[in-house]
Structure 1
């Protein structure tokens, strides 16, 4: 008989008073006294405050505090200084065009996969996945090797071999920066739009076609408006990510004298550091994100976007005819731009002695030997990155589980506020989080700056929203009666969480773990301000090597970085699926 069958049944099938009294409810009663769940709750709330609330509060204080008294001088300088206004304008321009072209690429790809008979759908899905996983600064490095004005391989070919200098392309422009950024952000729009297209009630489209609308007109006037919320959410994510990326903006923007907010904030930490001004600029980042979210919600609030009706039906795929080859051609172009060119270039450069038109005549393994065995920073950076990624992912999902449990399983006052606070870092660029942590920890008598500890705090604080969302989704799928049954049978809160709740949440938590692990391994925006020689990460090592001009070793180390990410994801997937799958099944059978 299962736990649910036993749940509190007396001889007459009803719960006995003793058993009911044994249920430790946090929903308005229960026995008094300090218990394990109370300790865990307090620790979870305290950790969330340390990770998010206190650093941001310190950031705000620093932005309005002068040497001895409150002042608005930092904001005045940020809003009146030409250098800072130019950086703000460039960031907004970059975000606007990135969001627009993310829609131009992501929506057609999603529509082709979900609603048409276009061939090569697996290729499209593969392209979106690889583009999302590819660190933007590595893609930027690859495009610099191809299209830098003087030494870019494509430019050298057109200028010196083909005699067509008018075909050369300068990547150190806003156009080049937008291109590199879009190749990372269009998967946001693609994934959300694709999911929404699969959820739309097909009866709306069928009704339009019955009334005489063609399939393309139906897609434009019926389907597209219904998936507008998903598209706008993707645009918002693309916009926020575009203005927040440091690596690509430094690699492509700075040589082209395109200064953005992240690179301008980074420059303020040259000696002597200007913490107050950096804090004011960082808060401008937050205001931009909040404003974008406000406009999105205001637009959606004025319209109805119900996509699921009472009677659903699977939509018929649109037969494109000869046009399907044109759509496939568009998809192949994106595949070439997002996958073939970046990885093909990095691979070719990594095996060349000297990058140029005749690179294939001098292939060598010396670059890999250098970065793996002679460049002593590499091993330290790899170990640091993997250690931080594992710890940050684990802490993020565990803390997310505690916050989600407080939100969904208790009636503690302010529990909704905890969920909102945990989502705040979603709109904070890494460099803003770094500035906040620097301001907070420098004011305390702890030697934390430049250590792995402050990097861990930055990573967990920045990616805690992913852990909270994954845990919240997983916990909502578990019937609370399963936990109550275990408590009735005498299991304490800790045993119930260990044997019932966490195993059933396992697959969802593991998905969240991977969602945190991948961006932590390739994180550069926060790391660039927080690292030291002993705490250097792999992304920072690649960027520093690039700044010194080691073109070929940089490509080798970049590919090592991607191999580590791929291998870690594969290994974690194999281990996680087997372990969590077995524990989840056992917990379900026991319940």
Structure 2
């Protein structure tokens, strides 16, 4: 009995040993394959942002002409031009935060505390400043409040002919920057409202608390930290904005750091790249300090909330219709009236001609579509935005899988630093790209002045727009599916392609469409990187307005906004099948 049983157990032990050796070899192979994929992702992130940013830092901290330590930085920081631009940047950005916080909180509370008519449309219009490029928004407001305003002129409210446009000032820049970054506060407050447990509000109502008391004693204290965090983020975004200061500050002789960098590079060329690198580093410090303050504020004052069904707002409040009217009037002023003024300008034969049906013309639109440079710009922008969206979606799926499912520490570190090119001002990223890709590369040569440098900048800039939705979808996956595939010997790449990829594909597609909507009219990065033959739509709009062709710039802006509206509609139709919150204007 003993011998026979021992003979029977020997083959089993031998087979087990062979299986163990094979499993060890398989694990080693998987580790090697995983390292290759993660290394490729790391190389991708280094080429599209990390190495250029490090190169910018090295350039800014270079010694002066006589070899003195930080001499170049001291020379720039002590110059009157820099000090004036720095002072303007800080004061205007701070002023814009007041506008962003006031408007964003008002719209968020209105749409979050009550179920207003047209809730989705109201949310979309409130977020439209994020989708409409800053140069188009600035151009629309210039037409709305200028002396030739097609809306204020007939009412007698427009400035008299010959008077300067009131927007060509620090206050005008602060107003438009506040409107553009208002959605950051709106999103933060609305997200915190949704996170409030509905049971908490219901318990207060059962206890006899009035609506005003619930709002003042429960809702406001729970959402104010989010509002403050959104306002700080709005400041960081205002610091690096280029479109609004360029269209309003340059003609108004109101310099800010982003426009000073642009003008110095355009006027003196690569010879001043070290000095403008110092200015760019100051922008990074300002934005970084604001983001660090935001994180500290959230950790110190953020209130953890218990899990449960979120607060969905009241549909029975007697204030529902008055609040709805006020909210729609605000979004009409912020998003609709400027676009109407822009459209009327596009249909006018010339600036100063009073608009009427008999004077309206489609010539500006026809001329824009017939212009070879503009057609080329549309083709370039579509190609760059689609390529950036496609590559970013693929990288986001791989990086999110290794960081969330694969639990790779290195991948988690890469996941954190992937935000750097998006967080820093676009002007800074563009300057960093020039530093790295202006000199000839081995076997390739210099790619400065080609579409490749624009694509690389877009890849680094917009990756977080798709990475964050994919990461959230990856965390929501059932881990048992990947575990079962791993037990059956499926390699990491196979598990990504066959399990994780299809499950997070809707979120990746939504993020990719957000990249297209954002990148197709991009100006901040493109303004320093474009070249003849590689123009983009944002650059063409800025150039036409800068040359004094306001009707042509308005016509091109109308075409561009119409294209973005169609793409946004398609994204919204597809987003109805996605989980709530995947698209920012569909929070519920």
Shared fold, TM over 0.5: yes
CA distance in structure 2 between the aligned counterparts of 1:51 and 1:531, rounded to whole angstroms: 17
CA distance in structure 2 between the aligned counterparts of 1:409 and 1:542, rounded to whole angstroms: 44
Partner of 2:521: 522
User: 3-state SS of the aligned residue for 1:523?
Assistant: coil
Deviation (angstroms), 1:166:
14
CA offsets 1:389-433 (integer angstroms, 9 cap, x no match): 011111112222222222223354533321221122232111100
Q: Tell me, yes or no, if structure 1 residue 307 matches structure 2 residue 280.
A: no
Q: Work out whether residues 470 and 507 of structure 2, in 8 Å CA contact, stay in contact via their aligned partners in 1.
A: yes
Distance 1:483 1:178, change over 3 A: same
- Identify the match of residue 62 of structure 1 among 59, 62, 82: 59
- Identify the match of residue 255 of structure 2 among 241, 259, 274: 259
Distance 1:559 1:154, change over 3 A: closer
Distance 1:212 1:351, change over 3 A: same
Choose 83-92 or 429-438, whichever is displaced more.
83-92
Partner of 1:340: 336
CA distance in structure 2 between the aligned counterparts of 1:24 and 1:550, rounded to whole angstroms: 69
Q: Tell me, yes or no, if structure 1 residue 40 matches structure 2 residue 37.
A: yes
CA distance in structure 1 between the aligned counterparts of 2:227 and 2:186, rounded to whole angstroms: 8
Choose 219-228 or 530-539, whichever is displaced more.
219-228
CA distance in structure 2 between the aligned counterparts of 1:347 and 1:24, rounded to whole angstroms: 67
CA distance in structure 2 between the aligned counterparts of 1:508 and 1:229, rounded to whole angstroms: 28
Partner of 1:11: none
CA offsets 1:538-560 (integer angstroms, 9 cap, x no match): 11011111111112121111111
Deviation (angstroms), 1:287:
1.0
Partner of 2:492: 493
Structure 1 length-normalised TM: 0.85
Choose 40-49 or 309-318, whichever is displaced more.
309-318
Deviation (angstroms), 1:224:
1.4
Q: Work out whether residues 52 and 421 of structure 1, in 8 Å CA contact, stay in contact via their aligned partners in 2.
A: no
CA distance in structure 2 between the aligned counterparts of 1:483 and 1:20, rounded to whole angstroms: 21
Q: Tell me, yes or no, if structure 1 residue 182 matches structure 2 residue 178.
A: yes
Partner of 1:432: 428
Q: Tell me, yes or no, if structure 1 residue 364 matches structure 2 residue 361.
A: yes
CA distance in structure 1 between the aligned counterparts of 2:199 and 2:483, rounded to whole angstroms: 42
CA distance in structure 2 between the aligned counterparts of 1:461 and 1:335, rounded to whole angstroms: 32
Deviation (angstroms), 1:304:
4.8
Kindly tell me the number of residue pairs found equivalent between the two proteins.
557
Deviation (angstroms), 1:234:
2.0
Distance 1:472 1:168, change over 3 A: same
Deviation (angstroms), 1:337:
1.9
CA distance in structure 1 between the aligned counterparts of 2:546 and 2:158, rounded to whole angstroms: 31
Partner of 2:72: 74
Deviation (angstroms), 1:263:
0.3
Deviation (angstroms), 1:491:
4.1
Deviation (angstroms), 1:251:
0.7
Unaligned runs of 5+ in 1: 1-15, 582-591
Partner of 1:547: 546
Structure-to-structure mapping, 1:80-91, within 5 angstroms: 80-91=78-89
Choose 307-316 or 494-503, whichever is displaced more.
307-316
Q: Work out whether residues 226 and 306 of structure 1, in 8 Å CA contact, stay in contact via their aligned partners in 2.
A: no
CA distance in structure 2 between the aligned counterparts of 1:317 and 1:531, rounded to whole angstroms: 50
Q: Work out whether residues 342 and 554 of structure 2, in 8 Å CA contact, stay in contact via their aligned partners in 1.
A: yes
Q: Tell me, yes or no, if structure 1 residue 508 matches structure 2 residue 533.
A: no
Partner of 1:482: 481
CA offsets 1:188-226 (integer angstroms, 9 cap, x no match): 222221222122024444555667754224313321121
Q: Work out whether residues 159 and 165 of structure 2, in 8 Å CA contact, stay in contact via their aligned partners in 1.
A: no
Distance 1:202 1:23, change over 3 A: farther
Structure-to-structure mapping, 1:109-258, within 5 angstroms: 109-116=107-114, 118-148=116-146, 151-153=148-150, 170-206=166-202, 214-258=210-254
Give me the CA root mean square deviation. Answer: 3.2
Q: Tell me, yes or no, if structure 1 residue 460 matches structure 2 residue 459.
A: yes
Distance 1:190 1:167, change over 3 A: farther
Q: Work out whether residues 142 and 165 of structure 2, in 8 Å CA contact, stay in contact via their aligned partners in 1.
A: no
CA distance in structure 2 between the aligned counterparts of 1:362 and 1:315, rounded to whole angstroms: 48
Q: Work out whether residues 24 and 487 of structure 1, in 8 Å CA contact, stay in contact via their aligned partners in 2.
A: no
CA distance in structure 2 between the aligned counterparts of 1:475 and 1:198, rounded to whole angstroms: 22
CA offsets 1:225-260 (integer angstroms, 9 cap, x no match): 212333233223322222222111111112222211
Distance 1:141 1:21, change over 3 A: farther
Partner of 2:4: none
Deviation (angstroms), 1:486:
2.9
